[in-house]
C-alpha cells in the first residue's frame, strides 16, 4: 500500500520582526499558505501527479503578492524584475528551469514546459522568453510585477546602497494610508529586509512519485543578471524517487556552494540516513559553516516530510490527502 500522498510548501525564511508583530498580517500569511496547500491537496486527491501538484502550488504562490515570486517580486538595482524558477520530476529525473526573465507571468509553468518540450534543462533571459512565447505563453508587461510595498522597500535599500538582507527592518518606513492591504508591509511576521524570499513546493503522489519546484524574484537591489540557487537543479531544487524531493530558500550563493538540495538526497543514498537526518545535517551543520542561512522542505517516497530552517522563521506548511493542512511561521 502506498503512503498517503502529501504536499509541502514554503514561502521564504528569515528574521522575525518581533517589535512590529501584526496579527492581521500573520493571519493573511496562514490563510494564503492554507489556500495553496488545499489546492495542491486537491490535485493529489484526484489522482494528479506530484509534478502537477507542485506546479499548481508554486503557480499560486507566484500569483500572490505576499510572496517574492511572480507578482510582488523584488526590484533589482536597475529597478527591474528578474525571475527564476525550476522544477524536477523524481520519477524520470527530468528537469526544467528558466532564469533572468522579465515578462513571464508564471516562471514555474514555463520551467515545466522546458522539462516537457525541450531537450535542454535551462534557458536564460531573452532565450527563455522566446521559448515561452514559442510555447504559447503570452508575455506580460513588466509593470505586472510591481507592488508599492516592494518598490518602497527597494528605495530604502537603494538609498543605503546594499542588498536586502543586510538591513535593519526597524528603519523600514510604514506604508502609506490607503495602501493595498494584500501587499507585504513592514509589519509582516518576517522582516521584509531580512527575508530570503523564495517559494517552493515538494510532493509525493498516490503512485509513489516525488517532485519539487522552486521560484523566486531574488533579493532586493541585486545586480542585474544575478542568479541564485532557485533555478539551479541540485542547489535550489532536486527530486529523485529513490531518495527525496527538496526545495530550498535562503542565502542563495551559500546553497549553491553547498549544492544543498542534492546533498540531502546524496546523504540518504550514500550514508543511508533518514530524510530528517540528512536535511537536518545540511541546514543545521553544513550550511552554517559558510554562514548559509535559510531552510528547506523535503518529502521522501515513504511519505516522510521535514521542514528544517536555521533562521528565526520560515513560512511553511504541509498537507496529507484527507487531513487538514498544517501551517507555521515561527520555530
pLDDT tens column, 251-265: 999 999 999 999 999
Angle made by CA atoms 227, 231, 237, in degrees to the nearest 5: 135
11 annotated to a ligand binding site: no
Is the pLDDT confidence value at 17 over 80?
A: no
226 annotated to a ligand binding site: yes
168 annotated to a ligand binding site: no
- More confidently predicted of 123 and 191: 123
Residue 19: pLDDT band with limits 50, 70, 90: low
121 annotated to a ligand binding site: no
Q: What is the pLDDT of residue 162?
A: 60
Confirm whether 38 is a catalytic residue: no
228 annotated to a ligand binding site: yes
Is the pLDDT confidence value at 156 over 90?
A: no
Collect all residues with Cβ–Cβ distance below 8 Å to 120 and sequence separation of at least 6.
Answer: 114
Question: Would you say 239 and 245 are in contact if contact means Cβ atoms under 8 Å apart?
Answer: yes
Other CB atoms closer than 10 Å to residue 173's CB: what's the count? Answer: 10
Residue 176: pLDDT band with limits 50, 70, 90: very low
Burial of 115 (0-12, 13-18, 19+ CB in 10 A): buried
Question: Would you say 200 and 58 are in contact if contact means Cβ atoms under 8 Å apart?
Answer: yes
Is the pLDDT confidence value at 166 over 60?
A: no
Q: What is the pLDDT of residue 331?
A: 87
β-strand 94-101 against 122-124: which pairing, if any? Answer: parallel
Percent of the chain past pLDDT 70, that is, above it, reads: 90
DSSP-assigned beta bridge partners for residue 318: 8, 326
| Average pLDDT of span 101-117 | 98
250 annotated to a ligand binding site: yes
| Average pLDDT of span 25-40 | 96
Q: What is the pLDDT of residue 165?
A: 44
Which of 76, 198, 243, 327 does the annotation list as catalytic?
A: 198
Q: What is the pLDDT of residue 191?
A: 82
The CA–CA distances, whole Å, from 168 to 14, 21, 60, 80, 90 equal 12, 15, 30, 23, 40
Hey, what domains does the chain have and what are their CATH numbers? 6-330 (3.60.20.30)
252 annotated to a ligand binding site: yes
Is the pLDDT confidence value at 54 over 60?
A: yes
Identify the three-state secondary structure at position 212. Answer: strand
Cα–Cα distance between 109 and 86 in angstroms, integer? 9
The whole-model pTM stands at 0.92
Percent of the chain past pLDDT 90, that is, above it, reads: 78
227 annotated to a ligand binding site: yes
Question: Would you say 307 and 2 are in contact if contact means Cβ atoms under 8 Å apart?
Answer: no
Amino acid at each position: 500500500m502506498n503512503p498517503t500522498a502529501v504536499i509541502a510548501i514554503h514561502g521564504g525564511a528569515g528574521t522575525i520582526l518581533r517589535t512590529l508583530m501584526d496579527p492581521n498580517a500573520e493571519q493573511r500569511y496562514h490563510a494564503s499558505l492554507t489556500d495553496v496547500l488545499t489546492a495542491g491537496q486537491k490535485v493529489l486527491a484526484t489522482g494528479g501527479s506530484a509534478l502537477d501538484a507542485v506546479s499548481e502550488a508554486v503557480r499560486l504562490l507566484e500569483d500572490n503578492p505576499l510572496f517574492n515570486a511572480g507578482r510582488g517580486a523584488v526590484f533589482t538595482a536597475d529597478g527591474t524584475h528578474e525571475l527564476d524558477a525550476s522544477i524536477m520530476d523524481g520519477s524520470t529525473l527530468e528537469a526544467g528551469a528558466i532564469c533572468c526573465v522579465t515578462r513571464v507571468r508564471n516562471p514555474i509553468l514555463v520551467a515545466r514546459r522546458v522539462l516537457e518540450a525541450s531537450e535542454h534543462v535551462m534557458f536564460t533571459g531573452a532565450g527563455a522568453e522566446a521559448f515561452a512565447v514559442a510555447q504559447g505563453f503570452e508575455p506580460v508587461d513588466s509593470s505586472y510585477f510591481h507592488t508599492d510595498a516592494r518598490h518602497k522597500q527597494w528605495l530604502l535599500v537603494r538609498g543605503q546602497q546594499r542588498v536586502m538582507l543586510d538591513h535593519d527592518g526597524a528603519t523600514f518606513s510604514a506604508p502609506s494610508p490607503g495602501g493595498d492591504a494584500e501587499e507585504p508591509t513592514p509589519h509582516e511576521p518576517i522582516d521584509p529586509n531580512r527575508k530570503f524570499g523564495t517559494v517552493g513546493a515538494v510532493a509525493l503522489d498516490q503512485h509513489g512519485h516525488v517532485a519539487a519546484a522552486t521560484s523566486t524574484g531574488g533579493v532586493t537591489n541585486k545586480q542585474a543578471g544575478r542568479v541564485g540557487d532557485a533555478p539551479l537543479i541540485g542547489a535550489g531544487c532536486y527530486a529523485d524517487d529513490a531518495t527525496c524531493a527538496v526545495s530550498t530558500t535562503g542565502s542563495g550563493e551559500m546553497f549553491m556552494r553547498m549544492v544543498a538540495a542534492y546533498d540531502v538526497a546524496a546523504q540518504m543514498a550514500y550514508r543511508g540516513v533518514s530524510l530528517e537526518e540528512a536535511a537536518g545535517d545540511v541546514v543545521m551543520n553544513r550550511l552554517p559553516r559558510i554562514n548559509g542561512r535559510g531552510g528547506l522542505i523535503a518529502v521522501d517516497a515513504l511519505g516522510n516530510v521535514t521542514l528544517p530552517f536555521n533562521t528565526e522563521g520560515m513560512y511553511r506548511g504541509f498537507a496529507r490527502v484527507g487531513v487538514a493542512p498544517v501551517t507555521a511561521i515561527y520555530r
